[in-house]
Structure 1
Amino acid sequence: MRVTCPIHEGARRHPDAEALRFEGRAWTYGALDAEVARWTAALESRGLGQGDRVALLSTSHPAVAFLFWALGRVGAVFAPLNARLTGAELRPLLDAITPRLTLALEPLRDRLPGAQSLESLAEHASGASKSLQAWEEDLPRVILFTSGTTGRPKGAVLTEAAFRASCRASSANLGAHPAPRWLGTLPLFHVGGLAMLTRTAYEGGCLLLHERFDAEAVNRAIDTEGASHASFVATTLERVLDARADRSLPDTFRCALIGGGPVPTALLTRARAAGLRALQTYGLTEACSQVTTERPDEADGRTAGPPLPGLEVRIVGTDGVPLDVGQEGDVEVRGPTLMAGYWNQPAATHEALHDGWLRTRDVGVLDARGRLTLLSRRTDLIVRGGENLYPAEIEAVLANHPAIAESAVVGVPEPHWGEVPVAFVVLRPGHALPGDLDVWCRQSLARFKVPSRFVVLETLPRNAMSKVERTVLRRQAMSQRMYQAGS
């Protein structure tokens, strides 16, 4: 199927509607369309065309949006690189995609020798391009590298069709909105950030783009810029509520999607008291962001919700056979949002995709209402004395302790049991490590699930995509003397 650029369509239908806002400056659809046309001319002057890859190293910036839509108009593929990576980490990614053009935001150019300046790309463009060719929905649109917590990063190939299907599915779940105004606090090198960028364009809304997360700026956008939707994790949600001192949110704010792991019950209660509807969600890059999300009228914070309309989720055993409701196993996803595959990695693609299903390598369980509870990555599973332990289940219990800001649980070898869980915890300000954490855990967990010990850290180690580096924690746990308190 062929489609046209949604920015041009927006300029034709509602040219004066706001499409993008950044640091006090706003672009209407008409103005954004003209800017994209100028950037398209700049790309054409460099000979960029169908299938060419363009690598970009940048934080969130309006120029990223201009480039993204201009690349669509010439048929080139957008390959954003994580702005937190070092030069040594970036080099193999560039080698993998062999870009025709490499760009970087000026302050980051030293990490990519030879990269051209993003900000100056369109400075000398001769006029605006008249190119408005239709886009083939099934051709590669974006290559997004996975976080690499379980090995070498892989480039997930996402199509225009996948982004549009993701938008339709999310909109069907959240309900119609005449012009959503999404808070763009997730980086545009992340699938969540690109989901907001594309979603607002398809729906005639506005992206309120922030270079980085700042709780005060988020609250200003909510209170004065009409933000209607946002995506948070538990820690950023808490910072937003703290910064506004739990003041009620205006009626213009519709809901926030909460990802990244368990959310403390007390935090959800705070959010509801402030009029903030928080919907837990589960997604991944290979499925173009969201897979499951709580229904707005059924949200209770106990699960990540059912599959979005048009998507399917099933739980299978290690033999690939589908399991019944309530049985724990591997999560698989099917639907129009799935990636086309991994860039130039046929073996990895074959391993991940089979018969239309995506093997996520996550472990979970579905309840009788089709709602997903995510338990762990398959590689994070802890097997103690033949019993499966899931870090997310233990972390959810720790998250509700008033002294614990966040935690991560890993398994380490132990001669008698095979593996035992060790919990790394970050304390809230003013708190010492509670002496009753094992007692607290036993109120909600079977004895064999209680961590053998609790280790205090100032912060959890995270990779460039902000995911906890459990391999680092395992090494640290194994280098320390084991003892049996709480086991």
Structure 2
Amino acid sequence: MTWGCPIREGASRWPEAEALTFAGRRWTYRLLDVEVGRWVAALQARGVKAGSRVALLSANHAACVGLFFALGRLGALLAPLNARLTAKELAPLVQEIAPELTLAQGPLLDRLPGAENLEAWGSAEQAPSPLCLPLGASTPRVVLFTSGTTGRPKGAVLTEGNFRASARCSAANLGAFPAPRWLGTLPLFHVGGLSMLSRCAYDGGCLVLQDRFDADAVNQAIDQEGVTHASFVATTLERVLEARADRPVPASFQLALIGGGPVPAPLLARARAARLLALQTYGLTEACSQVTTERPSEADGRTAGAALPGLEVRIADPEGQPLGPGREGDIEVRGPTVMAGYLNRPEATHEALRDGWLRTRDVGSLDERGRLTVLSRRTDLIVRGGENLYPVEIEAVIASHPAVQEVAVVGIPEARWGEVPMAFVVPRPGHAFPLDLDDWCRRSLAGFKVPARFIPLEALPRNAMGKVERTVLRQRLPHV
């Protein structure tokens, strides 16, 4: 089975319906189809073709939308990079991608040597190209980097079939809603943002795109722009409710999907009081966003919901044998949303995909109704405001300090962000505890990865196998 570009199809079926809004501008499907055609022409002129890879470093911007759909028409692959990363963090990712073209937003150009200005490309006047190659279920669309338990970034390759299935499965759970208006505050370099973008296009909806999360702008869009759906994490949901002083949302607003970890029960109650239906979800990049989501008719905030229709979720032991309800084990996923594999990593792909099941390495349990409770997001993973932090990456930077002998980073619950990283540091013999570790980390790490505190220790606790006992460290953590 093959599909055409959804923007081209939308221009034929509902040409004057809104497809995109951003920074005061509005594009109908007809106008966006022309815009995407111009992007195709510009990319063709640079030799981008089927199988080409294009790296992108940008915050949310209308140009990202044109580029995404244009690359689809060419059969080329988009590699969006996290705009919060430093130049040092980005360099190995670009090397892994080996792109034919690298684009970056103007303020971010200095982080990617050799990158070309995204806005200049987006504003170039080109005669639109009519080229629109058919997309098959296995056609790669994006590669999104996600770190495993080793912290080494891996590029998950998601296909057109993955995005189509994700939209189809989500709609089956939430209920059909023609022409939705999704609020786009999630970054388009994350699978959640790209899923909203593609979902809108498939359903003839409109993406109300914002360059960043701002609670006042979110509420204005909900109250005045007719937004029907949104995606938040607990932190941003709370900020939205605070900014609107808990005023009820209008009847036009249908629901919000909440990812990034469990939501405190008082916050869910507060949302319900404001007539805001908040559905907890569980998902991951390798499964093209949502895997489980609460059913709108039975949401109680106690779990992350059951598997979306069309997907399967099971709990397995380390040997891959399924476990019954109430048993704790590894969360595994099967279905058409599961990635094609990791870019250039056959061994990692083989390890992650076993007998058709995606081994998430997250830990959870299923109840008798098939609803998932997530107990741990991968080994030692820290989830800070929806961003995944991997201790080994942070530890490597701290351990490179000349006064540090060894270090262990663990997460601690924190009211605003869910979790924040804390570092236990053992100084080298003869050295005082280094007081410049915050600055040292910020030279190499994005700000959200920098530990909230650096705690001195004489030695790290280890078990009989010599492994650091992180559970013991967590028991020593102060509350923040």
TM-score (norm 2): 0.82
* Whole-Å separation in 1 of the counterparts to 2:153 and 2:369: 35
Q: CA 1:17/1:478 → structure 2, altered by over 3 Å: closer, same or farther? A: farther
Structure-to-structure mapping, 1:199-238, within 5 angstroms: 199-238=199-238
Counterpart residue number, 1:64: 64
CA apart distance, 1:426:
3.8
Contact 1:34-1:128 within 8 A present in 2 as well? yes
In structure 1, distance between residues paired with 2:361 and 2:477: 32
Partner of 1:107: 107
Separation of aligned partners in 1, 2:202 and 2:278:
23
- Seen in structure 2, the aligned counterparts of structure 1 residues 372 and 479 have a Cα distance that, compared at 3 Å, is farther
- Does structure 2 conserve the Cα–Cα contact (< 8 Å) formed by 1:15 and 1:28? yes
Partner Cα separation in structure 2 for residue 263 and residue 6 of structure 1:
34
Partner of 1:39: 39
Instruction: Describe the SS at the equivalent of 1:20.
Output: strand
Report the counterpart of residue 424 of structure 1 in structure 2.
412
Shift of 1:330: 0.3
| DSSP 3-state at the match of 2:163 | helix
Counterpart residue number, 2:138: 138
What's the counterpart of residue 195 of structure 1? 195
The offset of 1:282, in angstroms, is: 0.2
The aligned counterpart of 1:9 is 9
Per the alignment, residue 355 of structure 2 pairs with 355
Gaps in structure 1 of 5+ consecutive residues:
382-390, 396-407, 411-420, 429-460
* 1:19-418 mapped onto 2 (5 Å cutoff): 19-147=19-147, 150-380=150-380
The residue identity in structure 1 corresponding to 2:278 is: A
Whichever residue aligns with residue 102 of structure 1, its letter is T
Which amino acid in the other structure matches residue 341 of structure 2?
A: G
Q: How far 1:191 sits from its partner (Å)?
A: 0.2
The count of aligned residue pairs is 420
**Residues 465 and 88 (structure 1 numbering): CA distance in 2 closer, same or farther, change over 3 Å?**
closer
> Using a 3 Å threshold, how does the CA distance of structure 1 residues 44 and 326 change in structure 2: closer, same or farther?
same
Cα offset for 1:125?
Answer: 4.8
In 2, are the aligned partners of 1:54 and 1:102 still within 8 Å (CA)?
yes
Give the 3 Å change call, closer, same or farther, for CA 423–5 of structure 1 in structure 2. closer
Q: In the TM superposition, what whole-angstrom CA distance separates every residue of 1:323-351 from its partner, at most 9, and x where no partner exists?
A: 11100000000000000000010000000
Cα distance in 2 for residues equivalent to 1:362 and 1:22:
36
Give, as a single letter, the amino acid of the residue that structure 1 aligns with 2:113. Answer: P
Name the residue aligned to 2:405.
none
Amino acid at match of 2:366: L
For the Cα contact (< 8 Å) 1:82–1:464, is it kept in 2?
no
- The C-alpha deviation readout for 1:360-414, integer Å capped at 9, x for no partner, is 0000000000000000034139xxxxxxxxx99xx9xxxxxxxxxxxx9x9xxxx
Contact 2:86–2:446, Cα closer than 8 Å, also in 1: no
Q: Go from structure 1 to structure 2 and tell me whether the alpha carbon gap of 1:286 and 1:278 turns closer, same or farther (over 3 Å shift).
A: same
In structure 1, the residue corresponding to 2:364 is in which secondary structure? strand
Residue 19 and residue 485 in structure 1: after superposition, are their counterparts in 2 closer, same or farther (change >3 A)? closer
Matched residues in 1 for 2:170 and 2:110: separation?
38
1:142-182, CA deviations, whole angstroms, 9 ceiling, x for partnerless residues?
01001466411100000000000000000111111111100
Say if 1:42 and 1:122, in contact at 8 Å, map to a contact too: no
For the residue of structure 2 that corresponds to 1:120, the secondary structure is helix
Inter-CA distance 480–217: structure 2 relative to 1 (3 Å threshold): farther
Question: Structure 1 77/464 Cα, relative in aligned 2: closer, same or farther at 3 Å?
Answer: farther
For the aligned residues, what is the CA RMSD?
2.9
Q: 1:6 offset after TM fit, Å?
A: 0.2
Q: Secondary structure at the match of 2:120?
A: coil
Deviations 1:62-92 (A, max 9, x none): 0000000001111110000110111111111
Separation in 1, partners of 2:178, 2:477:
56
Give the whole-Å Cα distance in 1 for the aligned partners of 2:335 and 2:50: 26
Residues 317 and 248 of structure 1: is their aligned pair in 2 closer, same or farther, counting only changes over 3 Å?
same
How far did 1:238 drift?
A: 0.6
Change beyond 3 A, Cα 1:478–1:229? farther
Distance 1:422 1:146, change over 3 A: closer
Structure 1 residue aligned with 2:433: none
State the Cα distance separating 1:121 from its structure 2 match. Answer: 1.6
CA distance in 2, matches of 1:177, 1:465: 38
Matched AA of 2:323: L
Contact 1:163 1:195 in 2 (8 A): yes
SS of residue matched to 1:380: coil
- Inter-partner Cα distance in structure 2 for 1:350 and 1:465: 31
The 8 Å contact of residues 60 and 210 in structure 1, kept in 2 or not, is answered as: yes
Matched AA of 1:424: I
Partners of 1:82 and 1:465 within 8 A in 2 = no
In the TM superposition, residue 136 of structure 1 has moved relative to its aligned partner by 2.3
Instruction: State the Cα distance separating 1:422 from its structure 2 match.
Output: 8.3
Give the letter for the 2:272 counterpart.
R
| Residues 241 and 131 of structure 1, relative CA distance in 2, 3 Å threshold | same
Cα gap change, 1:478/1:334 in structure 2, threshold over 3 Å: closer, same or farther? farther
Deviation at 1:133, TM superposition (A): 2.4
Q: Which runs of 5+ in 2 are unaligned?
A: 392-408, 417-440, 461-472
CA distance in 2, matches of 1:129, 1:121: 15
Task: Output the CA distance in 1 between the equivalents of 2:106 and 2:410.
Answer: 43
Compute the displacement of 1:110 (Å): 0.8
Q: Could you say if the C-alpha distance between residues 478 and 198 of structure 1 is closer, same or farther in structure 2, counting changes exceeding 3 Å?
A: farther
Task: State the shift of 1:132 in Å.
Answer: 2.2
Provide, for residues 214-263 of structure 1, a one-character-per-residue CA deviation record: whole Å limited to 9, x for no partner: 00000000000011111111111011001001111111100001111121
Aligned in 2, Cα 1:279/1:158: closer, same or farther, shift over 3 Å?
same
For 1:193, give the aligned amino acid: G
8 Å Cα contact 2:412-2:477 kept in structure 1? no
* Counterpart residue identity of residue 3, structure 1: W
Preserved contact between residue 19 and residue 29 of structure 2 (Cα < 8 Å): yes
Rounded Cα–Cα distance in structure 2 between residues aligned with 1:464 and 1:157: 25
* Identical residues among aligned pairs (%): 65
Separation of aligned partners in 2, 1:169 and 1:191 = 15
Structure 1 Cα separation of the partners of residues 122 and 162 of structure 2: 29
SS in 1 for 2:64: helix
Aligned to 1:18: 18
Deviation per CA, 1:37-57, whole angstroms, max 9, x where unpaired? 111110111111010000001
Q: Which amino acid aligns with 1:144?
A: L
- 2:465 corresponding residue in structure 1: none
Q: 1:247 is matched by which residue type in structure 2? A: R
Cα displacement (A) at 1:424 = 3.1
